[in-house]
Amino acid sequence: MRSLKGKTLFITGASRGIGKAIALRAAADGANIVIAAKTTEPHPKLPGTIFSAAAEIEAAGGKALALAVDIREPEQVSRAVDQAVDAFGGIDVLVNNASAINLTGTLETTAKRFDLMMGVNMRGTFFCAQACIPHLKRADNPHILMLSPPISLEPRWFAPHLAYTMSKFGMSMCVLGLAEEWRDAGIAVNALWPKSVIATAALAMLGGVVKPAFCRKPEIVADAAHAILTRPSRFRTGRFLLDEEVLAEEGATDFSAYAVAPGQPLLPDLFLG
């Protein structure tokens, strides 16, 4: 049984959703989880704070360090990485999960929303990697995992929401560049993306256009992430992986338990439909 016991994971946006699910799966092994997220007070529409997530991680069997971090600010990221190393002795895994989404066309995208998506998705991903790599170089099995989609230059992925697509593909470009740059150092850099839409509280922020009954639970992404992060880091790098395909490689054939409403048709993810 491959395990993350004793490993330290620095996870952005781990206070809720997919990030928290990845944290809880690692915590079940006895991992150390650094929760790097902004939410210190309950959001009026979204559940969870860094402190409530820390309590769940501890209850699941892991150790938690809750850090209030705006990943758009390199100084805050650097300080959080230093705190993580002081607390746990190093960093073995970086999970760039934090993301901002706004599915608007060009004329409807405000400068504030544009900057938020570019700042969190692309800038935050880059500077979190920059801060963690010196410590990952010293880890036994170092991984960076981006929650970003396979890159495609087909116009249909850009036309409906150009700014969001650019920001997410920016994360994916970091996968390509970092994987090659740090290949010889043995740091695996891969992307993971859900094959079907995942039911998280953030769906409600999209105005109810997606019904949870046609989605899967975040646990499918968490289990796939666990499989990737427990493989030897020199096994695979620079790849764009889908959750279902990763689990199929692990021998899974029945994914019905991950469905919110088993038997209902599943919606393909935004970048895979």
> Is 258 in the active site?
no
Residues 21-37 as b or e (16 or more Cβ within 10 Å = b): bbbbbbbbbebbbbbbb
Q: Alpha carbon 230 to chain centroid distance?
A: 16
Secondary-structure percent of the chain, ordered helix, strand, coil, rounded to 5: 45, 15, 40
* Candidate list 88, 126, 164, 182, residue with the active-site label: 164
Give the pLDDT of the chain (273 residues) as one tens digit per residue: 899 999 999 999 999 999 999 999 999 999 999 999 998 988 777 788 999 999 999 999 999 999 999 999 999 999 999 999 999 999 999 999 999 999 999 999 999 999 999 999 999 999 999 999 999 999 999 999 999 999 999 999 999 999 999 999 999 999 999 999 999 999 999 999 999 999 987 776 666 678 899 999 999 999 999 999 999 999 999 999 999 999 999 999 999 999 999 999 999 998 997
Spatial contact of 179 and 237, defined as CB atoms under 8 Å apart: yes
pTM to 2 decimals? 0.96
Kindly state the helix (H) or strand (E) to which residue 95 belongs, with its residue range: strand 93-96
* 8-258 under CATH 3.40.50.720, yes or no: yes
User: 256: how many CB neighbours lie within 10 A of its CB?
Assistant: 8
User: For the chain, what are the domain ranges?
Assistant: 8-258
Spatial contact of 44 and 91, defined as CB atoms under 8 Å apart: no
By CB atoms closer than 10 A (0-12, 13-18, 19+), residue 217 is middle
